[in-house]
Amino acid sequence: MRKTKEVLRLRFEVGLGLRQIVRSYSIGLGTVHEYLQRAQAAGGTWPLGEDWDEERLEAALFGGPPRARPAALPMPDFAELHHQRQIQPHLTQQLLGRSTGRPTRTAIAIPVSASCLSAGAGSKM
């Protein structure tokens, strides 16, 4: 959940600077700056009225409640990706995922080679 209301409160009620707000809530400086810019563009004033709840603030600043992300990305069709790599060897998996129109997982288990293990890279896990 976004901490929009708290960011606005710390800025306008408490008078903290951007970096102090960042440290208080462990969020990015760009995020704090974006929240404050959106509030200014929406014409919001502090303190917010009693009728301003989280949903109304979200709608005013971001155009509605945040969309839910899918729990898991679908697995790619590895046979199709392999076929496409055979036809077009210069394409990366990321580009192949764009061409098929489906997101692909970027974290695919790659076995560690024997040369890495003998060099000691696998022993420090």
Provide the domain count of the chain: 2
- Do residues 9 and 55 both lie within one domain? yes
Bigger pLDDT: 11 vs 112: 11
Q: Which domain holds residue 78?
A: 74-103
Q: Reply yes or no on whether the pLDDT at 19 is more than 90.
A: yes
DSSP for the chain? ---HHHHHHIIIII---HHHHHHHHT--HHHHHHHHHHHHHHT--SSPPTT--HHHHHHHHHSSSPPPPPSSPPPP-HHHHHHHHHH-TT--HHHHHHHHTS---S----PPPHHHHHHTSGGG-
Tens of pLDDT, residues 44-54: 778 887 888 87
pLDDT band at 69 (very low <50, low <70, confident <90, very high): confident
Instruction: Give mean pLDDT, residues 96-104.
Output: 57
In a domain, residue 91? The reply is: yes
Residue 29 pLDDT: 93
pLDDT band at 71 (very low <50, low <70, confident <90, very high): confident
In a domain, residue 117? The reply is: no
- Do residues 37 and 83 both lie within one domain? no
Residue 113 pLDDT: 54
- Do residues 24 and 55 both lie within one domain? yes
- Do residues 21 and 48 both lie within one domain? yes
- Do residues 40 and 83 both lie within one domain? no
